[in-house]
Structure 1
Amino acid sequence: MERRLVFTGKCQVGMEKFDLPEPKAGEVKVRTLTSLMSTGTENIVFNRNFDSGTHWDNWVKYPFYPGYTACGIVEKAGEGVTSVKAGDRVAIRRGHASAHVVVENECIAVPEKVSDEDVPWFKLAKISAMGAKVADLSLGKSVVVVGAGPIGQMAIRWCVAAGSYPIIAVDSVAMRIEMAKRGGVTHGIVKPLGEAIDEINSICGGEGPATVIDSTGHHQVFSDALRAAKKFGKVVILGDTGSPASQHLSSDVMSKGLHIVAAHDCHETPDWDFRLISNLFFEMVRSERFALDGLNTHKYKPGQCAEAYRTANEKRGETMGILFDWR
């Protein structure tokens, strides 16, 4: 039997056994090597840190099976499968389980040079790429990324790839800013955004940045992001808060003519979808243009899941990538 992580209630995680069917025509069975905790999403769910009546509330029902990004090996291919074969290493958008059966086109081939530990970052990079797209990043255009957690780290790297300048990361945790600097930011500020605005203005030549990307998912950051942006600037809501009713507009929207746009994993278009973005990500990692060194700070066996989620909740200042090793 296979194994998977399960949330059985608020702040309750364990592992259960389950039967996995054989792959049918057009499907493949993938044996998981590694999966990556999405500390933002999974801990909102784990702690039930969301308001009643939100999409989070409608989504989270028990038993809840966490996770959405993994690296694995194709173990068996069903009839008619041609793009992958047994032994191929692939990236899949699936949760924390020892194996999965997925349709063929959900598998993304992984370059040999990209490690098993780095592969699961592809999904977080894909999510942040949705924010990069709507942010209209361009050469020499100033940007502030608020929150240097996993999604923020990926957003920073897309800003670097786009040639944004200056690229300013803001987070109250010093370790995260150091990782952002390794990822290519030109300036890092270890403060809450509300206390960093004067410094941001100074870096940007006396005015705010053209774009503010809020990757935090924290409702209180929204008003400060509006205050930070320059006149006619753009605020991108990349972090999905569990308390949207607590995000409030301010007079900055009208007085500065701000453009507010949300970005979400589900906002794919024919010219910007998960396959295109994932292949771009893997090529940039392979060619060393997308730095991931040091982002994985913790690794656990699946049986240590309670410890892993406790670490994610109690040691935020020490964690970034939390991997589950299924090998």
Structure 2
Amino acid sequence: MSTAGKVIKCKAAVVWEPKKPISIVEIEVAPPKAHEVRVKILATGICRTDDHILSGSIKANFPVIPGHEATGIVESVGEGVTNLKPGDKVIPLFLPQCGECTVCKNPEGNLCEKNDLGVPRGVMYDGTSRFTYKGKPVHNFFSTSTFTEYTVLHEDCVVKVDAAAPPEKVCLIGCGFSTGYGAAIKSAKVQPGSTCAVFGLGGVGLSAVMGCKSAGASEIIGIDINKDKFPLAKQLGATQCISPLDFKKPINEVLFDMTNGRGVDYSFEVIGRTDTMIAALASCNMNYGISVVVGAPPSAAEMTFSPALIFTGRTWKGCVFGGLKSKDAVPQLVSDFMAKKFCLDPLITHILPFDKINEGFELLRKGKSIRAILVFGDEQHTRK
């Protein structure tokens, strides 16, 4: 029986207020309105940014359904949608690409003006939500909300991908992999033969390592206080790994010592801490070093640093989604994955059924997972 045009009742993971566990409840998902798409989620990754919603360090409107890294199947489309149809395999885009704003039209821009990142609204473009619980609205997150069996997306926030792509793997291209890989390839434009330092070896940091290797960097130094991550980092391209806890001097001085006093050509902060952002900048060559802020900082964070760090020539920049234009990049990255140009398997340490979502978050917080993937319905199986 077709569900098009009807309200769908399904399970969703809702956060009622900060610092409270996620609870799985039955919600109602309204049909898509004009230029919207309703999607059945097949697999979704647990990202550190989702945990920031639970901790309250990133602002959101509550109650909210988190999740922004997923693969799904189009269930139905609203009026005016011409580039997608029911049955298409898609990846939701937390960073929209409307194609019409000044940012989308600029070849170097990717932070579409339709984004819901800085001052989150938690609703669709028309100011309303498609989610309700017991008759009351529930907010969406980053225009996506993938911790639910069904979600509704504006057509700016979803893109069709290869129908044969395995959902529990390519969902990573919706955030974690693309953010790290793109930071190296697109934002930093890492050059062959260069020296790189990656601060933080979680899923995004390891993807940055992969990007640096793909770009031809000759030396890639991985930095993390959790040494359990070192073997995988080296497997993916890191030439050496160090822990700041093993040194009495600041880590930026350690990196200068390791590079014969020059500093690294490129550094990537993939943690979201202001102190490591400054350390990553200070680790760069003072004339031409480039440091990229990749990790999402807490909403209220501020920092103080010496202007001498950039006066001498260093470049300090940030990027969202690796600087990539989402609709253009995601299908191509999926195609590259299918062509075996890179492998996502090492980044996936756990595959769990959706109802074990809180267990997935605990694995993340304890440093026991790189990426835990939640799967729904027929996709459910466990690994590791």
How far does residue 80 in structure 1 lie from its aligned partner after superposition? 5.1
In structure 1, the residue matched to 2:373 is: 323
How far does residue 196 in structure 1 lie from its aligned partner after superposition? 4.9
In structure 1, the residue matched to 2:238 is: 185
Distance 2:355 2:228 in 1: 28
Q: What does 1:232-311 align with in structure 2 at a 5 Å threshold? A: 232=287, 233-242=289-298, 245-250=301-306, 253=309, 256-265=312-321, 272-311=324-363
Conserved 8 A contact 2:310-2:316: no
CA displacement 1:132-188 (0-9 Å, x = unmatched): 323131222221111111221222222222222222221122232222223222333
Root-mean-square deviation (CA, aligned residues, Å) is 2.7
Conserved 8 A contact 2:46-2:360: no
- Provide the aligned length of Structure 1 versus Structure 2: 312
In structure 2, the residue matched to 1:38 is: 47
Distance 1:254 1:124 in 2: 28
Q: Return closer, same or farther for 1:213/1:14 CA change in 2, 3 Å cut-off.
A: same
Is 1:152 aligned to 2:205, yes or no?
A: yes
Is 1:92 aligned to 2:145, yes or no?
A: no
In structure 2, the residue matched to 1:219 is: 274
In structure 2, the residue matched to 1:83 is: 83
Task: State the secondary structure of the residue aligned to 2:178.
Answer: helix
Conserved 8 A contact 2:14-2:63: yes
Provide structure 1 residue ranges, at least 5 long, that are not aligned to the other structure.
51-55
Q: Return closer, same or farther for 1:157/1:104 CA change in 2, 3 Å cut-off.
A: same
In structure 1, the residue matched to 2:4 is: none
Q: Return closer, same or farther for 1:250/1:68 CA change in 2, 3 Å cut-off.
A: same
Conserved 8 A contact 1:219-1:244: no
CA displacement 1:191-242 (0-9 Å, x = unmatched): 4596655664455354211111111101221232233111221221111221
How far does residue 33 in structure 1 lie from its aligned partner after superposition? 0.6
How far does residue 250 in structure 1 lie from its aligned partner after superposition? 3.3
Task: State the secondary structure of the residue aligned to 1:161.
Answer: helix
Return the TM-score normalized by structure 2: 0.73
In structure 2, the residue matched to 1:20 is: 29
Return the TM-score normalized by structure 1: 0.84
Provide structure 2 residue ranges, at least 5 long, that are not aligned to the other structure.
1-8, 94-143, 378-384
How far does residue 301 in structure 1 lie from its aligned partner after superposition? 2.4
Conserved 8 A contact 1:281-1:290: no
Distance 1:305 1:114 in 2: 23
In structure 1, the residue matched to 2:18 is: 10
Q: Return closer, same or farther for 1:308/1:287 CA change in 2, 3 Å cut-off.
A: same
In structure 1, the residue matched to 2:129 is: none
Conserved 8 A contact 1:166-1:204: no
Q: 1:319 corresponds to which letter in structure 2? A: S
Q: Return closer, same or farther for 1:109/1:175 CA change in 2, 3 Å cut-off.
A: farther
Distance 1:164 1:234 in 2: 14
